[in-house]
Structure 1
Amino acid sequence: MPQTGSSHTQTAPAQRRERSRGRSFAAAALAFAVVMLGTTLPTPLYAIYAAELGFGVVTTTVIFAIYAAGVIAALIVFGRWSDAVGRRPLLLAGALLSAASAVVFLTAGPVWQLMIGRVLSGLSAGIYAGAATAAIIELAPRGWQGRAPAIATAANIGGLGLGPLIAGLLAQFAPAPLRLPFALDLVLLAPVLVGIWFLTESVDVRAGTRLGLQRLSVPAEVRGVFVRAAIAAFAGFAVMGTFTGVTPSFVSQILGIDSHAIAGILVAVLFLTSALTQIVGRSQLTERSLIVGCAVLVVGMAVLVSGLLVPSLAILFLGAIISGIGQGLSFSKGLAAVVAASPSDRRAEVTSTYFVVAYVAISIPIVGEGFAAAHWGLRTSGIAFNIAVGVLALIALVLTLVAVRSDHGPGPRHTASRGDHSM
């Protein structure tokens, strides 16, 4: 009997700790999803803003690209902070920035206010890209540790996909389309902030730890792998940037369909397909999956070009699905290859550099497409852009095939990718 009592005494605290970890794990995953949802809420609303404020596709793409600038700034400035001060303070700061962005959009008037809202949103996403992913993996209960990277992927990319879906449906079927989505976002952020406040800290914070900028560099021995993976990531994120920034204009101006819901669903399909692909394919071999991802992305670009030439909503949806599969595989497996090839003491800076390349792809190409659309039309610029992205994906495919044949592929042959560093 004493032994049994002793056993209960020993296991009760452990069970309480496990339940606390489980609650914190769920809170971190919810926070990740809601914060990323907020970053894509404006997507189907840009057409309404453009009509009310009198701006065109160039301004739309600039507003969107400013978001990427915020993400890059957060990756560089705050990338190492959660390791020094803990996950919880960074998660709290990111959620507060997301709430501030929602308030700015809720009260938005002139274009400059939209730009401020997008910068705040980008900062929140950049903070969560590292801190939330790490927190979910570290806080996973014992039975969920193997699935934690997939949960982080689902929360991240799934949240990005739900944003335009929710905003599009609300804009189409509910009142106050420029207010209600952001009011709902604030409602969702309220329990997120409470959950983060009571979150179990997963980092052993040491007094006197210095804060600093995240260094960006690629060691010489990793550059071959990095270049191939980064080209594929650039192509995939450029597609996501275009979908998020100008899909509403494509739907209304090229297809002649005045439906915010359809625009939101089309964008959501791309993101959700990417998320599902990363989760399902996480255990597949890196090299083979990277090759398949690049090839599928090339096919997706060809389908999207066809959808613009015809034009056809059904073909655009098919192109979104195929492109989502290609983007999900090429990005996640490219990251897996880079991580596997990097020295352990340089892994953080190489990974951060990879993410910066990806988010540059969201900003610069889409602004270029906006200017091209102003001069040559939305359809022509869209076709040219998708062809250019297809060429980039093809280059990444060829480089990877050549590397594999020469037995210098991107990382170990039996490396399985993980979803713990998704967009």
Structure 2
Amino acid sequence: MNASQRHSWGLAFGLCLITLAVNLQAPLYTTYAQLSGYGAGATAVAFSGYVLGVLPVLVAFGGLADRVGRKPLIIAALALSMLATLVTVLWPNLIALGVARLMMGVGTGLASATATAYMTELLATADSRSPANRVTASTSLGFGLGAALTSLFLFACPSVTPGSFWLQLVLAGLALIVVWRLPDPAVRIEQAPLLRLPLFPAGSLPYSFSMLLAWATSGLVIAILPSVLASHDLQRWSGLSTFTVISCGLLFQPWVRRMHPARATGLGLLVLPLSYALLAWGASIGSLAAVLFGALGASSACYGFLYLGGLSAVTAMAGAQKARVSAGFFLFAYVGFSIPVVVTGLLADRFGADMALLVFGLALLAGAAVTALLIVRSEAFIAQPSYG
């Protein structure tokens, strides 16, 4: 393995540990809420602290990496992931979870602002897709792996501070050393503007809105589903459902890369509401198999068809403004990751989980149908069906 490959794997290791911390506490959301005397609405608000951290960083500090370099942002993100985990080790309750999620959001925002550019510089390859694929794979794996590890530790020994928390601290400390030793080849531009407002090219909004729907669904699985599963004594499996709805989307990404972006997005908008219906039905009746198969289908849409298809589509429209267009795309994604989840949590407190899941499902179906119609009627949809 040459130096550039070794360095790129070191960065991938660091990115995986940053995102691993984000959903590390997911299987304990219901436990923290019960210990703190709160319901699903408050749990969703604490969950959305992540978005309050990530969005200002992505928008207001998009140019920070050009000023200070790539490596310092990754190091800061790793340090924040460790601090967030330590907060929930010391204070395992819902308020501390909200604070930790806020710190994780800031850390993820810092890493997101520079990860692809840093990976491109370390790999030094002419293939622009390879660095992006490595970043996508490492971060997607981390997002799901944290919840899965906590579930495994909870199976072995129930605790509000399971061994997965300590494992993250140890591995993130190791990743900190690895990233510290990486080169930082970017030329720093001291006068680079910090503020990079999102940009939405003509025809891009349906693809951005499809990501809102996708991440609203995955956010619902992470934040609300554990309380529904707990009513059927299946809470211990919530980490596996989180891992399935996030990381299993990696299995579909090679297929999506061979599809035209418009067709991939259209297929994702068909798969998403059907998968959600199976998942919600399984959660309501206590069928773990239905939940996991529904989560797998949703993952294929959320982190496969809609993620890669939508991002490829808007990137093709971006021209020289790829950073600003990408920021706009993820702005929609993170809005979906917060507001619909909070509203569904409040509905669950007021009218019960089954009614909340039904209302979300109807809204998802309507949103997917309208968005798919706009994409199908666009010129891009009737373009060449594949890249060859």
Q: Give TM-score scaled by structure 2 length.
A: 0.93
Match of 1:249 in 2: 227
For 1:415 and 1:343, how far apart are their aligned partners in 2?
A: 21
RMSD: 2.3
Q: Per-residue deviation at 1:109?
A: 4.9
Matched, 1:227 2:200: no
Matched, 1:214 2:213: no
For 1:71 and 1:205, how far apart are their aligned partners in 2?
A: 23
Structure 2 counterpart of 1:252, one-letter code:
A
Match of 1:409 in 2: 380
**1:287-313 Cα shifts (integer Å, max 9, x gaps):** 221211111113213323432454522
Match of 1:4 in 2: none
Structure 2 counterpart of 1:313, one-letter code:
L
Match of 2:269 in 1: 294
For 2:197 and 2:161, how far apart are their aligned partners in 1?
A: 39
**Match for 1:196 among 163, 168, 179?**
179
CA contact (8 A) 1:153 1:279 kept: no
Task: Give 3-state SS (helix, strand or coil) of 1:200's partner.
Answer: coil
Shift of the 144–162 alpha-carbon distance from structure 1 to 2, 3 Å rule, reads: farther
For 2:198 and 2:192, how far apart are their aligned partners in 1?
A: 18
Match of 2:64 in 1: 81
For 2:37 and 2:221, how far apart are their aligned partners in 1?
A: 21
**1:235-384 counterparts in 2 under 5 A?**
235-253=213-231, 256-260=232-236, 262-308=237-283, 310-327=285-302, 328-344=304-320, 346-384=321-359
Task: Give 3-state SS (helix, strand or coil) of 1:39's partner.
Answer: coil
**1:63-86 Cα shifts (integer Å, max 9, x gaps):** 001111111122113322113321
**1:114-193 counterparts in 2 under 5 A?**
114-140=97-123, 147-174=130-157, 176-193=159-176
For 1:308 and 1:176, how far apart are their aligned partners in 2?
A: 24
Shift of the 170–369 alpha-carbon distance from structure 1 to 2, 3 Å rule, reads: same
Structure 2 counterpart of 1:94, one-letter code:
A
Match of 1:7 in 2: none
Match of 2:14 in 1: 31
Task: Give 3-state SS (helix, strand or coil) of 1:60's partner.
Answer: helix
Q: Per-residue deviation at 1:33?
A: 0.7
Q: Per-residue deviation at 1:412?
A: 6.7
Gaps of 5+ in 1: 1-17, 418-423
Task: Give 3-state SS (helix, strand or coil) of 2:224's partner.
Answer: helix
**Structure ID, larger Rg:** 1
CA contact (8 A) 1:301 1:387 kept: no
Deviates more, 1:56-65 or 1:287-296: 287-296
Structure 1 counterpart of 2:229, one-letter code:
V
Name segments (4+ residues, structure 1) moved above 6 Å: none
Q: Per-residue deviation at 1:316?
A: 1.5
Gaps of 5+ in 2: none
Q: Per-residue deviation at 1:415?
A: 7.7
CA contact (8 A) 2:29 2:94 kept: no
Shift of the 109–156 alpha-carbon distance from structure 1 to 2, 3 Å rule, reads: closer
CA contact (8 A) 2:269 2:369 kept: yes
Match of 1:70 in 2: 53
For 2:275 and 2:213, how far apart are their aligned partners in 1?
A: 11
